[in-house]
Structure 1
Amino acid sequence: MIDMRNLETFYAVAQSGGFHRAAEKLHTTQPAVSARIVQLEQQLKGRLFERDKRGCFLTAKGRALLGYAERMMALRTEMVEAIAGGSALSGVVQLGASDTIVHTWLSDLLKGLNREYPDVTLEVNVDTTAALTAGLVDGSIDVALLMGPISTSSAENLPLCSYAISWVVSSDFPLPDKPTLADIVQYPIITFARSTKPYWQLKGLFDEAHLSNVRIFANSSLSSIVKMALDQIGVAAIPKHVVAEQLASGRLRLLQTGHDMPTMSFTASYFRRPDMPLNPIVAELAQKIARVFEV
C-alpha cells in the first residue's frame, strides 16, 4: 500500500526541484525525505528522480506518477471537507504580506483564520513585493498579499484593495492644509523604498511638475516612516489607511495639493496546488476582509 506521506514528499520534491528545499517545505530533514522517496521507488520498482549539479528531475516514471499523486491529494482534501467540514483542514501556511497590509488589516485576517481553521498554523513573512513574488515562485511562500497582480504563469490573483498615497504630516508641521507641490518639496519626502512602485510614481509626479530639487527619504519600514512624520522630519507619502488611528487622534493630519496621487493596488496571489488546499481559502478570506478596510 502506498503511504500518502510518501506521495506528499514525492510531490514536494517534484515541485521544489530538490530534496533540501522539499525538506524545508515539509518541516522535516533531508534524510527523511530521501528515505521516503527510496521507499516509494522500491514499491513502484523504478527511479522517480534523476539528479545532477542543477538539481533533481523527474524520470518518465516520475512524470507518470505526478498526475496520480495530484489527483489522490485533491481527492483526500475533497473527502475531508465533505465529511468533516472545512474546519478539519490542518497544516502550515507560509503567508507573505506587504508592510501596508500589516499596518491595516492583517490582524483581522489572522483572527478570522484562527477562528475558522483552528488546526492551521500560520507563519507570516513581511517583505517587499519583489521578494514575496520570488518566494511564491520558489515555493517558500504559499500565499502573498502584495502589490499585484503578478504575471507568473498559472498564478492566481484575487483583487484585495486599492489605497491612494496621501501627504501626511504631524499636526503642527509648518505647512498649510492645502499647500502646493512646490511648498511640499521644501521638506524631505518620506516614502517607500527605492525598489517599490510608489517611490518611482512619486518621483514621476515631481518630474511632471518640473520640480528637480526633491529630497526623497526612501524607507523600507512603514513604522519608521510614521515615526519620522510624527517627529517632523518631513512630509510622509503613504496611504492614509496606515495612519487612521493617528489621524483620528489629531497627532497627524492630511495635506491636499489637488494632484492625482499614485494608487497602490493589492492582490492575494498564489498557485493552486493539490497539497496546499488552504491557499485559495486564505486568499478568499483575505479578499473578504480587505473590502471592509478599503473605505
Structure 2
Amino acid sequence: MARARSSIDCKALETILLVARLGSFSEAARTLNTTQPAISLRIAEAETALGVLFFDRSGRRAVLTPEGRLACDYAERILTLRGELVDRIGDPAARRGTLRLGVSETIVHTWLPRFLEKFNATYPGLTLELDVDISTELRSFLLQGRIDLAFMVGPVGVPALQERPLSRFPVGFIASPTLDLPRHRVGIEELKRYPILTFARGTLPYAEVADLLERSNGGRPRMFASASMATLIRMALDGIGIAAIPPAIVRDDIANGRLVRLRSGHRLRDLGFVAAWAETSEKFLISGIADLAAESALQ
C-alpha cells in the first residue's frame, strides 16, 4: 500500500481552518503569533501529503479549492471529535495551552476576580491572555480568531458565534456629592448642566444616554466618552461630571459616600452580558469555561 510522504497532524488541520476563515496567510500568522512563512510551510506540507492544493493563491486572498473545502469539512469533524474526547473523559487539570479571553471592563470591576479564582482552580495548566476592550471590538476579535472567548454586552446576534447569558447590570446616573445636586429627583436640565461621563462612542449605553438627553430642550449635552471605566470613575470622583454607568461598579464608593446615585426619574436600560465564542474544535472546553463564568456572575 502506498504511504503518504508526510502525515497531517491536528495543528495542520487547525491552520487550514484558520486560513480558510480569515482568507489570509498573514492574518493567520498574526493570530497564531508566528510568521507567514511558517504558516505557508505548514499548509504546503499538508498539501504535499495528499498531493492536492487546498488554496488558490493567485489572488490577494487565499481562496479554498474544491479539495480545500472538502478538507475543511473533514478537519472540522476530526477536531470536534478530538475536542469532545478530551473534554468528556479527560481531567480538566491536565489541559495545557492558552486561553485568549476578551472582557468588557464592566466585568473587570465586578465578578471577574471570582471567575479567575475558579478558572485557576479548575484549569491550572491553562495560561490566560486577557484583552480588555469594548464589546464591538471584542466581537470583531472573535470573528477574526484573535480571541477564543469573550465576556461582553449581548445579545451578539451573529450566527457564527455561540453565546450564553451571564449577568445584567442596571445603569444609573452617579455623581460626586461635591456637585451639590439635589437629593430628590434630578431633572434632565439639571443633568445637562454637567458633562456626562459614559461608555465609548459607538456603544449601546452611549447611544441611549445621548438620545435621552437630546430629546429635551436646551441643545446637545456634553458627553465625555471613554473605553476606560477606571477613567470614568476617576472623573466622577473628582467632580468633573455625572457618570452614566452601572452603580455596581462603584458599590464601595457609594457605600462610603464618595459617590451618590442620582434619582433622575429616567430609567436607562440594563446592560446584559453574555459569554460568546466561535464554533471551533475547542468548543467543549470553551463552553465549560463559559459555565464557570456564569457561576461566578451569579455569586
TM-score (norm 1): 0.90
Aligned to 1:179: 185
**Shift in Å at residue 243 of structure 1?**
0.4
Alignment gaps of 5+ in structure 2: 1-6
Residue 130 of structure 2 is aligned to residue 99 of structure 1:
no
Aligned CA RMSD, in angstroms, stands at 2.0
Structure 1 counterpart of 2:116: 110
Q: Distance in 1 between matches of 2:14 and 2:225?
A: 43
Query: Which of the numbers 54, 72, 80 marks the counterpart of 1:74?
Result: 80
- 1:84 Cα deviation after fit: 2.6
The residue number in structure 2 matching 1:120 is: 126
Residue 242 of structure 1: how far off its partner (Å): 0.8
TM-score for the superposition, normalised by structure 2: 0.89
Moved more, 215-224 or 239-248: 215-224
Give unmatched runs, 5+ long, in structure 1: none
User: Quick check: 1:97–1:146 contact (8 Å CA) kept in 2?
Assistant: yes
Contact map agreement 1:81 1:89 (CA 8 A) in 2: no
Separation in 2, partners of 1:129, 1:76: 31
Q: How many residues align?
A: 292
Q: Answer yes or no: is the 8 Å Cα contact 2:163–2:277 preserved in 1.
A: yes
Residue 238, structure 1, aligned to residue 245, structure 2: yes
Counterpart residue number, 1:204? 211
> Residue by residue, what CA displacement relative to the aligned partner does 1:224-256 show, whole Å, maximum 9, x if unpaired?
111111111121111101101212222112111
Indicate how the Cα distance of structure 1 residues 137 and 67 shifts in structure 2: closer, same or farther if over 3 A, else same. Answer: same
Task: Tell me which of 268, 287, 292 is aligned to 2:275.
Answer: 268
Alignment of 1:35-50 (within 5 A): 35-50=41-56
Q: For residues 213 and 65 of structure 1, what CA distance do their matches in structure 2 show?
A: 56
Deviation at 1:24, TM superposition (A): 2.8
Is the alpha carbon distance of 1:99 and 1:168 closer, same or farther for their aligned partners in structure 2, counting shifts above 3 Å? Answer: same
The 5-angstrom pairing of residues 122-201 of structure 1 reads 122-181=128-187, 182-201=189-208
Which moved further from structure 2: 248-257 or 3-12? 3-12
Offset at residue 88 of structure 1 (A): 2.5
Partner of 2:297: 290
